[in-house]
Amino acid sequence: MNPTISIRKPEEHEWQQLRELRLDVLKHEPQSFGSSFQKEVAKESEFWITLAKNSHLKDSSVCAIVAVLNNKFIGMIGCYLPEQGNWNIWGMYVLQEFRGNGVARSLMEFAIRLIRQRNPDSVIQLYVNVEQTPAVSLYKAMGFEISELLPNQLMGDGQHYDEYIMLLQPIKTNNTNQ
């Protein structure tokens, strides 16, 4: 990865950049996501402000992470913990011109590290369109395994695609202290 690219949580005042990047992804690659441009563009500014702000709270159940180059957001990923269940990773996206440089891997590593700090025993899950082979390959390389195939899932472009649920198991530790 280019050393001038930083991976971090967005600041509250950067909520508009966060929103614009999310809308960009849904315009250009809607088949990759369960949400749609129409759904996300309708969200009030307060949603985006809260997402950026809550990303910095240690006990928050939601977090956004961004890749930044020259003060411009070039990639993002999110994670959340539902009331019951596993941590979920969502919304992985890197602008086309920055792909192939390790940005996606760095975003994933940051998200996984953050989740493990908050909940080391959590399984981490994500959903991915089976046709997104570069994403599937990255997730497998990072230790995720395909858990289930969900056929015919509605995606952001209004079409149906098969989708994988992929899981990353907790790190097993050898506890010799009894």
pLDDT at residue number 33? 80
Q: Which tops the pLDDT comparison, 2 or 55?
A: 55
* pLDDT (tens digit per residue) in 62-81: 899 999 999 999 999 999 98
Residue 112: inside a domain: yes
Domain hosting 81: range is 5-120
pLDDT bucket at 55, cuts 50 / 70 / 90: confident
Amino acid at 137: S
Residue 146: inside a domain: no
Q: What is the CATH number of the domain that holds 42?
A: 3.40.630.30
| Residue 148: φ, ψ to 5° | -155, 150
Amino acid at 19: R
pLDDT at residue number 79? 94
* pLDDT (tens digit per residue) in 114-165: 999 888 899 999 999 999 999 999 999 999 999 999 999 878 788 889 999 9
Residue 14: inside a domain: yes
Does the predicted model carry a pTM greater than 0.85? Answer: yes
Count of structural domains, the chain: 1
- Percent of the chain at pLDDT exceeding 70: 95
Residue 141: inside a domain: no
**What's the rounded mean pLDDT across residues 11-18?**
94
